[in-house]
Amino acid sequence: MVQIHNENCFVTMERMNPHSVDVVLTSPFYNTNKKAGKTRTLKNTKVADGQYDYVRYDSFVDDMTDDEYSDFTKRLFLSFDKVLSPNGCVLYNINYGAENTEGMFKAVNAVITETPFTIADVIVWKKQTALPNSCSSNRLTRIWEFVFVFCRRSEMKTFSCNKQVKSYRKTGQAAYENIFNLIEARNNDGSCPLNKATYSSELCEKLLSIYAKPGSVVYDPFMGSGTTAVACMKMGFDCIGSEISAAQCEYARNRLVENRSSWLDALLEC
């Protein structure tokens, strides 16, 4: 089952039952659009090839101040604390940008100092391609991004992960399989005219295979074009999503219908 709500994520979470979500998987806006000003979106900007690459969304401009972004992120995680089940985790894909290298780190600091959550792991998502930072003499081309694995501080030793026991030592201590904190996956599932900052269902599937148990409910507070929902539908997880853009909600719903039809056809062919 997939539910997509055309509303602010805080509205959705306020309506949710406590502890009704097992995994939060999302890629929020990075707040790196310092060039975008206060009004420029994909709706009101004609984006030519290679022009205005920093304009990312059809109805939102991600240009908060760092303090505003940190406060927003803190409030977000306090809401996660309400809806996330015991021993659930938050998989949070975020990165810094050329226009704002500090905001991400300040926001993460707000989470670990002002909410019940802490960092359990940091996964590196290595993308297949990256735009070169060709206008800088000293800045490197960013081919990877962060996926922060957050859990409640009190659940650091118990939060859910699908690592399998490989053997037992003479003392009875379990030795687990290695799951490395590097994931290679596509950048996205193809171009979306409403959202220029999507991630890939391949990345979502690999993350869910590590952290989601059978029967898990997954929540994405920034559903966008529906990538998390596509991965959940393919893997058999229930998914709830929030998205403020009505156009992106419709795009995501159509995408789910198309993907469901293609998967059913593939099953019939088998």
**Locate tokens 């940091």: which residue?**
122
Helices (H), 115-226: 201-211
Give 181-209 pLDDT, tens digit per residue: 999 999 888 887 776 667 899 999 999 99
Measure the CA–CA gap between 161 and 148, rounded to whole angstroms.
Answer: 14
> How confident is the model at residue 149, as a pLDDT?
98
pTM of the prediction? Answer: 0.88
For residue 2, the cross-strand partners are 239
Burial class (CB in 10 A: 0-12, 13-18, 19+), 176: exposed
Domain of residue 253: give its range: 2-269
User: Residue 252 to residues 11, 23, 194, 226, 243: CA-CA distances in angstroms?
Assistant: 19, 20, 11, 4, 10
- Residue ranges in the chain modelled with pLDDT below 50: 49-50, 264-270
What is the domain count for the chain? 1
Contact 230, 261 (CB under 8 A): no
Give 209-236 pLDDT, tens digit per residue: 999 999 999 999 999 989 999 999 999 9
> How confident is the model at residue 8, as a pLDDT?
92
> How confident is the model at residue 100, as a pLDDT?
80
Q: What are phi and psi of 37, to 5 degrees?
A: 70, -150
CATH number at residue 162: 3.40.50.150
Token pair of 232 as six digits = 């959940």
> How confident is the model at residue 176, as a pLDDT?
85
User: Residue 41 to residues 38, 59, 262: CA-CA distances in angstroms?
Assistant: 9, 6, 32
